Amino acid sequence: MNEKDSDGDSPDDKPTEDDASLFRRVMADAKPIAAAATAPVPRRVVPRARFRAADEREVLRESLEADIDHTEAQSGSGLRFQRQSVGRRTMRKLARGKFSVQGEIDLHGMTVSEASAALHDFIDDSCLLGHGCVRIVHGKGLGSGNRGPVLKHKVDAWLRRWQPVLAFVSARQVDGGTGAIYVLLDTSR
């Protein structure tokens, strides 16, 4: 018993010769599609951080607003010394450049022995003149190569031993940054 499908054909129906010739006649004008040499590659989406531009603007803003003196002091390249008699407020004031600098010496280009003698004379003269705050430019040691800042370390050691020196701290960026120091002197001697 042959049941008919809903379209009226039986499941056993096979195409007849008339169907095949009809198909050939209808498809006679058809042209084959040229086969692609390679399968199309889907366009690769480049990943992009959604907030990258905003993050970069924020970092730039923070770097422009940062206190360069504080940043430089935090880097460990700054010098700092105080005797017990010098309080925190005085050190803060000194670090901010709030004392009037009454004398200055620049040790750039000097040998260690020349710098030692010049600095010793400068400190003695400054005390005699009653200068309470002076600036010493020792340089950052950029010309010292791998040895690092030779004069900077020598000045640090010398000043710690000299009694008239009450305190010193690396200067503000506008006054030489870590290449200079403000020095408080005891003028009562």
pLDDT tens, N- to C-terminus, the chain (189 residues): 455 555 555 555 676 778 888 888 888 888 877 766 676 777 777 766 666 676 667 666 666 665 544 444 444 478 899 999 999 999 999 999 999 999 999 988 888 899 999 999 999 999 999 999 999 998 876 665 566 678 888 999 999 999 999 999 999 988 888 889 999 999 886
CATH code given to domain 80-185: 3.30.1370.110
| Alpha-carbon dihedral angle through residues 163, 166, 170, 175, given to the nearest 10 degrees | -100
Question: How confident is the model at residue 146, as a pLDDT?
Answer: 60
How far is residue 28 CA from its own chain's centroid?
74
Model pTM score:
0.58
Question: Sign (positive/negative) of CA torsion 89, 92, 94, 99?
Answer: negative
